[in-house]
Structure 1
Amino acid sequence: MKFVLFTTNLLMSAVLSRFAISKLAGWEISVNAFIEMAQPLGINPTFFRLFTGFVILSIVIAYLSTAIYSLFESKIGSEVKINFKKFANYSNLMGLLTMIGALLAELFLRVQPKWPLVYIAIAVIILSIINMIILKTSTKYNVQCSK
Protein backbone atom coordinates (compact mmCIF):
# COMPACT_ATOMS: atom_id res chain seq x y z
CA MET A 1 0.00 0.00 0.00
CA LYS A 2 2.79 2.40 0.92
CA PHE A 3 4.44 1.80 -2.45
CA VAL A 4 1.20 2.46 -4.35
CA LEU A 5 0.55 5.70 -2.44
CA PHE A 6 4.12 6.84 -2.97
CA THR A 7 4.21 5.98 -6.67
CA THR A 8 0.81 7.37 -7.63
CA ASN A 9 1.25 10.62 -5.71
CA LEU A 10 4.77 11.13 -7.07
CA LEU A 11 3.59 10.41 -10.62
CA MET A 12 0.64 12.79 -10.35
CA SER A 13 2.80 15.55 -8.87
CA ALA A 14 5.35 15.12 -11.67
CA VAL A 15 2.75 15.22 -14.43
CA LEU A 16 0.82 18.16 -12.98
CA SER A 17 3.99 20.16 -12.29
CA ARG A 18 4.46 20.57 -16.05
CA PHE A 19 0.99 22.12 -16.30
CA ALA A 20 1.53 24.42 -13.31
CA ILE A 21 4.81 25.66 -14.81
CA SER A 22 3.27 26.26 -18.24
CA LYS A 23 0.46 28.34 -16.76
CA LEU A 24 2.55 30.33 -14.32
CA ALA A 25 5.39 30.93 -16.79
CA GLY A 26 2.96 32.02 -19.49
CA TRP A 27 3.96 29.55 -22.17
CA GLU A 28 2.35 30.48 -25.48
CA ILE A 29 0.34 27.26 -25.74
CA SER A 30 -1.13 27.85 -22.29
CA VAL A 31 -1.86 31.52 -22.94
CA ASN A 32 -3.70 30.68 -26.17
CA ALA A 33 -5.69 27.91 -24.50
CA PHE A 34 -6.86 30.19 -21.71
CA ILE A 35 -7.82 32.94 -24.15
CA GLU A 36 -10.02 30.37 -25.87
CA MET A 37 -11.51 28.99 -22.63
CA ALA A 38 -12.05 32.35 -20.90
CA GLN A 39 -14.02 33.83 -23.79
CA PRO A 40 -17.27 31.83 -23.17
CA LEU A 41 -17.02 32.60 -19.44
CA GLY A 42 -16.42 36.31 -20.00
CA ILE A 43 -13.46 36.48 -17.62
CA ASN A 44 -9.91 37.76 -17.90
CA PRO A 45 -7.82 34.95 -19.45
CA THR A 46 -4.65 36.02 -17.64
CA PHE A 47 -6.35 35.88 -14.23
CA PHE A 48 -7.96 32.55 -15.16
CA ARG A 49 -4.61 31.09 -16.25
CA LEU A 50 -2.67 32.32 -13.20
CA PHE A 51 -5.39 31.26 -10.77
CA THR A 52 -5.47 27.81 -12.35
CA GLY A 53 -1.66 27.66 -12.23
CA PHE A 54 -1.59 28.41 -8.50
CA VAL A 55 -4.34 25.86 -7.82
CA ILE A 56 -2.44 23.18 -9.72
CA LEU A 57 0.81 24.18 -7.99
CA SER A 58 -0.85 23.71 -4.60
CA ILE A 59 -2.06 20.28 -5.71
CA VAL A 60 1.45 19.38 -6.89
CA ILE A 61 2.83 20.35 -3.47
CA ALA A 62 0.10 18.37 -1.69
CA TYR A 63 0.67 15.26 -3.84
CA LEU A 64 4.43 15.55 -3.39
CA SER A 65 4.08 15.99 0.38
CA THR A 66 1.82 12.93 0.52
CA ALA A 67 4.31 10.88 -1.51
CA ILE A 68 7.26 11.89 0.66
CA TYR A 69 5.39 11.33 3.89
CA SER A 70 4.13 7.90 2.78
CA LEU A 71 7.71 6.91 1.94
CA PHE A 72 9.26 8.09 5.21
CA GLU A 73 6.21 7.65 7.41
CA SER A 74 7.86 5.11 9.72
CA LYS A 75 10.85 7.41 10.35
CA ILE A 76 9.06 10.74 10.81
CA GLY A 77 5.58 9.63 11.91
CA SER A 78 6.13 10.33 15.58
CA GLU A 79 7.74 13.72 14.91
CA VAL A 80 5.03 15.19 12.69
CA LYS A 81 1.84 16.50 14.22
CA ILE A 82 -0.52 15.87 11.32
CA ASN A 83 -3.18 13.34 10.57
CA PHE A 84 -1.64 11.75 7.48
CA LYS A 85 -4.83 10.01 6.41
CA LYS A 86 -6.83 13.26 6.43
CA PHE A 87 -4.09 15.20 4.66
CA ALA A 88 -3.68 12.52 1.98
CA ASN A 89 -7.44 12.33 1.46
CA TYR A 90 -7.70 16.12 1.15
CA SER A 91 -4.79 16.15 -1.30
CA ASN A 92 -6.38 13.50 -3.47
CA LEU A 93 -9.84 15.06 -3.20
CA MET A 94 -8.46 18.46 -4.20
CA GLY A 95 -6.70 16.89 -7.19
CA LEU A 96 -9.78 14.90 -8.15
CA LEU A 97 -12.10 17.91 -8.05
CA THR A 98 -9.65 20.12 -9.91
CA MET A 99 -9.21 17.52 -12.64
CA ILE A 100 -12.99 17.18 -12.95
CA GLY A 101 -13.05 20.95 -13.50
CA ALA A 102 -10.21 20.67 -16.03
CA LEU A 103 -12.04 17.88 -17.82
CA LEU A 104 -15.25 19.91 -18.00
CA ALA A 105 -13.34 22.98 -19.21
CA GLU A 106 -11.57 20.93 -21.85
CA LEU A 107 -14.80 19.38 -23.12
CA PHE A 108 -17.15 22.36 -22.91
CA LEU A 109 -15.06 25.54 -23.15
CA ARG A 110 -12.74 24.63 -26.01
CA VAL A 111 -13.78 24.59 -29.63
CA GLN A 112 -11.82 21.35 -30.12
CA PRO A 113 -10.78 19.39 -26.99
CA LYS A 114 -7.14 18.35 -26.72
CA TRP A 115 -7.56 14.62 -26.15
CA PRO A 116 -4.20 13.99 -24.45
CA LEU A 117 -5.24 16.53 -21.79
CA VAL A 118 -8.58 14.76 -21.39
CA TYR A 119 -6.79 11.43 -20.89
CA ILE A 120 -4.37 12.92 -18.36
CA ALA A 121 -7.25 14.42 -16.36
CA ILE A 122 -9.09 11.07 -16.39
CA ALA A 123 -5.92 9.27 -15.24
CA VAL A 124 -5.42 11.69 -12.33
CA ILE A 125 -9.09 11.28 -11.36
CA ILE A 126 -8.78 7.48 -11.38
CA LEU A 127 -5.49 7.46 -9.43
CA SER A 128 -6.91 9.87 -6.86
CA ILE A 129 -9.95 7.63 -6.37
CA ILE A 130 -7.69 4.58 -5.99
CA ASN A 131 -5.60 6.42 -3.39
CA MET A 132 -8.68 7.47 -1.44
CA ILE A 133 -9.97 3.87 -1.47
CA ILE A 134 -6.58 2.62 -0.24
CA LEU A 135 -6.58 5.20 2.55
CA LYS A 136 -10.17 4.35 3.53
CA THR A 137 -9.59 0.59 3.68
CA SER A 138 -6.12 0.66 5.24
CA THR A 139 -5.95 0.36 9.01
CA LYS A 140 -2.30 1.43 8.98
CA TYR A 141 -3.22 5.09 8.44
CA ASN A 142 -6.10 5.20 10.94
CA VAL A 143 -3.93 6.40 13.82
CA GLN A 144 -3.27 10.12 14.12
CA CYS A 145 0.41 10.88 14.17
CA SER A 146 1.07 13.26 17.02
CA LYS A 147 3.59 13.61 19.78
Structure 2
Amino acid sequence: MNKIVFSTNLLMGAVLSRFAISKLAGWEISINAFIEMAKPLGIDPTFFRVSTGILILVVVIGYISTAVFSLFKNNPDFKTIIPYKKWAIYANLLGLLTMVGALIAEFSLRVQPKWLLVYIALGVILFSGINIFILNKQKQ
Protein backbone atom coordinates (compact mmCIF):
# COMPACT_ATOMS: atom_id res chain seq x y z
CA MET A 1 0.00 0.00 0.00
CA ASN A 2 1.35 3.39 -0.94
CA LYS A 3 0.91 5.54 2.15
CA ILE A 4 1.15 8.81 0.23
CA VAL A 5 -1.66 7.91 -2.17
CA PHE A 6 -3.77 6.58 0.71
CA SER A 7 -3.32 9.58 2.99
CA THR A 8 -3.66 12.29 0.32
CA ASN A 9 -6.81 10.73 -1.12
CA LEU A 10 -8.32 10.43 2.34
CA LEU A 11 -7.35 14.03 3.16
CA MET A 12 -8.70 15.44 -0.12
CA GLY A 13 -11.93 13.49 0.25
CA ALA A 14 -12.40 14.79 3.79
CA VAL A 15 -11.67 18.41 2.86
CA LEU A 16 -13.89 18.43 -0.22
CA SER A 17 -16.75 16.70 1.60
CA ARG A 18 -17.37 19.94 3.50
CA PHE A 19 -17.86 21.78 0.20
CA ALA A 20 -20.17 19.10 -1.22
CA ILE A 21 -22.30 19.24 1.93
CA SER A 22 -22.50 23.04 1.93
CA LYS A 23 -23.67 23.11 -1.68
CA LEU A 24 -26.14 20.24 -1.43
CA ALA A 25 -27.53 21.31 1.95
CA GLY A 26 -27.96 24.89 0.77
CA TRP A 27 -25.89 26.68 3.37
CA GLU A 28 -26.35 30.45 3.17
CA ILE A 29 -22.70 31.13 2.32
CA SER A 30 -22.92 28.72 -0.61
CA ILE A 31 -26.22 30.14 -1.83
CA ASN A 32 -24.80 33.69 -1.83
CA ALA A 33 -21.63 32.60 -3.62
CA PHE A 34 -23.55 30.88 -6.38
CA ILE A 35 -25.91 33.81 -6.83
CA GLU A 36 -22.79 35.92 -7.47
CA MET A 37 -21.18 33.37 -9.80
CA ALA A 38 -24.31 32.48 -11.78
CA LYS A 39 -25.08 36.09 -12.66
CA PRO A 40 -22.36 36.43 -15.38
CA LEU A 41 -23.40 33.08 -16.87
CA GLY A 42 -27.10 33.90 -16.87
CA ILE A 43 -28.08 30.56 -15.35
CA ASP A 44 -30.17 29.55 -12.35
CA PRO A 45 -27.93 29.76 -9.26
CA THR A 46 -29.72 26.86 -7.55
CA PHE A 47 -29.11 24.55 -10.51
CA PHE A 48 -25.48 25.70 -10.68
CA ARG A 49 -24.98 25.11 -6.94
CA VAL A 50 -26.64 21.70 -6.81
CA SER A 51 -24.91 20.41 -9.97
CA THR A 52 -21.56 21.61 -8.61
CA GLY A 53 -22.35 19.92 -5.29
CA ILE A 54 -23.12 16.64 -7.06
CA LEU A 55 -19.87 16.86 -9.05
CA ILE A 56 -17.84 17.50 -5.90
CA LEU A 57 -19.67 14.64 -4.15
CA VAL A 58 -18.63 12.31 -7.00
CA VAL A 59 -15.04 13.51 -6.58
CA VAL A 60 -15.23 12.92 -2.80
CA ILE A 61 -16.55 9.39 -3.37
CA GLY A 62 -13.72 8.80 -5.85
CA TYR A 63 -11.05 9.98 -3.44
CA ILE A 64 -12.36 8.14 -0.39
CA SER A 65 -13.02 4.93 -2.31
CA THR A 66 -9.49 5.08 -3.73
CA ALA A 67 -8.13 5.32 -0.18
CA VAL A 68 -10.30 2.41 0.96
CA PHE A 69 -9.53 0.31 -2.13
CA SER A 70 -5.81 0.82 -1.56
CA LEU A 71 -6.16 -1.14 1.67
CA PHE A 72 -7.43 -4.19 -0.26
CA LYS A 73 -5.55 -3.92 -3.56
CA ASN A 74 -3.19 -6.80 -2.72
CA ASN A 75 -6.08 -9.18 -2.04
CA PRO A 76 -6.31 -11.58 -5.03
CA ASP A 77 -10.13 -11.56 -4.97
CA PHE A 78 -10.26 -7.78 -5.05
CA LYS A 79 -8.11 -7.46 -8.18
CA THR A 80 -10.68 -9.29 -10.28
CA ILE A 81 -13.49 -6.99 -9.17
CA ILE A 82 -11.97 -3.51 -9.44
CA PRO A 83 -8.79 -2.51 -11.30
CA TYR A 84 -7.36 -0.36 -8.51
CA LYS A 85 -4.73 1.51 -10.52
CA LYS A 86 -7.16 2.66 -13.22
CA TRP A 87 -9.78 3.60 -10.64
CA ALA A 88 -7.25 5.63 -8.63
CA ILE A 89 -5.92 7.43 -11.70
CA TYR A 90 -9.42 8.29 -12.93
CA ALA A 91 -10.53 9.49 -9.49
CA ASN A 92 -7.47 11.73 -9.12
CA LEU A 93 -7.81 13.01 -12.69
CA LEU A 94 -11.47 13.88 -12.09
CA GLY A 95 -10.52 15.72 -8.90
CA LEU A 96 -7.70 17.56 -10.63
CA LEU A 97 -9.89 18.67 -13.54
CA THR A 98 -12.74 19.65 -11.24
CA MET A 99 -10.41 21.89 -9.23
CA VAL A 100 -9.03 23.45 -12.43
CA GLY A 101 -12.65 24.29 -13.27
CA ALA A 102 -13.13 25.67 -9.77
CA LEU A 103 -10.13 27.95 -10.22
CA ILE A 104 -11.42 29.17 -13.57
CA ALA A 105 -14.81 29.89 -11.99
CA GLU A 106 -13.21 31.56 -8.98
CA PHE A 107 -11.21 34.00 -11.10
CA SER A 108 -13.69 34.60 -13.91
CA LEU A 109 -17.10 34.57 -12.19
CA ARG A 110 -16.47 36.18 -8.81
CA VAL A 111 -16.01 39.88 -8.23
CA GLN A 112 -13.06 39.05 -5.96
CA PRO A 113 -11.69 35.50 -5.56
CA LYS A 114 -11.81 33.85 -2.16
CA TRP A 115 -8.15 33.06 -1.59
CA LEU A 116 -8.72 30.21 0.86
CA LEU A 117 -10.73 28.40 -1.84
CA VAL A 118 -7.97 29.09 -4.36
CA TYR A 119 -5.35 27.59 -2.03
CA ILE A 120 -7.48 24.52 -1.35
CA ALA A 121 -8.03 23.98 -5.08
CA LEU A 122 -4.30 24.38 -5.75
CA GLY A 123 -3.53 21.86 -3.00
CA VAL A 124 -5.96 19.33 -4.46
CA ILE A 125 -4.46 19.86 -7.93
CA LEU A 126 -0.95 19.38 -6.55
CA PHE A 127 -1.77 16.23 -4.54
CA SER A 128 -3.79 14.73 -7.39
CA GLY A 129 -0.94 15.35 -9.80
CA ILE A 130 1.53 13.72 -7.41
CA ASN A 131 -0.81 10.75 -6.95
CA ILE A 132 -1.21 10.28 -10.70
CA PHE A 133 2.58 10.41 -11.10
CA ILE A 134 3.08 7.82 -8.32
CA LEU A 135 0.37 5.55 -9.71
CA ASN A 136 1.85 5.67 -13.22
CA LYS A 137 5.24 4.66 -11.80
CA GLN A 138 3.81 1.59 -10.09
CA LYS A 139 4.17 -1.70 -11.91
CA GLN A 140 0.77 -3.06 -10.92
Q: So what's the TM-score if we normalise by structure 1?
A: 0.91
2:43 aligned with 1:29? no
Letter in 2 for 1:126: L
1:96·1:128 contact (CA, 8 Å) conserved in 2? yes
Output the amino acid matched with 1:38: A
| Structure 1 residue runs without a partner (length 5+) | 143-147
Alignment coverage as a number of residue pairs: 139
Q: How far 1:71 sits from its partner (Å)?
A: 2.1
2: distance between equivalents of 1:18 and 1:65?
17
- Determine what percentage of the aligned residue pairs are the same residue: 64
* Runs of 4+ that moved beyond 4 A: none
Provide the residue aligned with 2:8 in structure 1: 8
Q: 1:72 Cα deviation (Å)?
A: 2.8
The one-letter amino acid of 1:48's match is F
Tell me, which stretches of 5 or more residues in structure 2 are unaligned? none
RMSD: 1.1
Determine if contact 1:66/1:88 at 8 Å carries over to the other structure. Answer: yes
Task: Return the offset for 1:82.
Answer: 1.5
Find the residue that maps to 2:62 and give its secondary structure. Answer: helix
Name the amino acid aligned to 1:9: N
Tell me, in whole angstroms, the C-alpha distance in 2 between the residues paired with 1:27 and 1:124: 23
Instruction: Using the TM superposition, give the Cα deviation of residue 47 of structure 1 relative to its aligned residue in structure 2, in angstroms.
Output: 0.1
The 8 Å contact of residues 2 and 71 in structure 1, kept in 2 or not, is answered as: no
- Measured in 1, the distance between the counterparts of 2:90 and 2:116 equals 26
**Kept in 2: contact 1:23–1:49 (CA 8 A):** yes
Cα deviation, residue 57, structure 1: 0.3
Partner of 2:118: 118
